[in-house]
Structure 1
């Protein structure tokens, strides 16, 4: 009896409105990608985002106590960040953009 080889790729089929396909094709073309590559990349990125948002992190009580001690410490100021935070906003400094 012949055995089936393991599949490395699986087809996915979907029905989309013409306007959606046109937009996907336009964006894929702008990236120099095929429709398939563009949709596959977008779907994988969306799946990764969902999985990363819902990932449960487990740690021991000792590990959690250590984590809480570290995040509860007073942060040391970063001089460059302090300087940026203290700059006046453009609209507070009399800044008028050129037209």
Structure 2
């Protein structure tokens, strides 16, 4: 079963379109394919930057140590969570 494509419409200045067209021609693809590839590549990078990160060994060890530090109870937060809700 073929998946239908979904339209994405946008308006750009003619100068922007001309630059996109020039780059698409250099890549030997049409404007739509070029824009799709560029947008998808950027989207993957944005998503990866939000969830993946790399650390060298020293930074990783410091990160692990920070995770292992015993947490202290915040008495104000404990009181808040034990308080009866106004709607109860």
* TM category, shorter: 0.5 to 0.7
Size of the alignment, in residue pairs? 57
Output the TM-score relative to the length of structure 1: 0.50
Q: CA deviation at 1:8?
A: 3.1
Gaps of 5+ in 2: 62-88
Output the TM-score relative to the length of structure 2: 0.55
- Residue of structure 2 equivalent to 1:8: 4
Q: CA deviation at 1:6?
A: 8.4
| Greater helix proportion | 2
Q: CA deviation at 1:46?
A: 0.4
Gaps of 5+ in 1: 58-67, 73-99
Structure 1: 4+ residue segments shifted above 6 A: none
